[in-house]
Amino acid sequence: MINMISNNIKYLRKKKGMTQEELAAELNVSRQSVAKWENGETLPDVYNCMEIAKIFDISIDNLISFSFENGDASEESEMGKYAFGIVKVGERGQIVIPKEARQVFGIMPGDRVIVLGDKRKGGIALVKIKDFEDF
State pLDDT tens for residues 4-22: 889 999 999 999 999 999 9
Identify the pLDDT of residue 77.
40
Identify the pLDDT of residue 38.
94
Identify the pLDDT of residue 80.
65
Q: What is the mean pLDDT of residues 73-79?
A: 44
Mean pLDDT lowest for which of 8-17, 19-28, 69-78, 85-94?
69-78
Asked whether the predicted pLDDT for residue 30 surpasses 90, the reply is: yes
Asked whether the predicted pLDDT for residue 63 surpasses 70, the reply is: yes
46: left (phi over 0), alpha (psi -120 to 50) or beta: alpha
Q: What is the mean pLDDT of residues 10-36?
A: 95
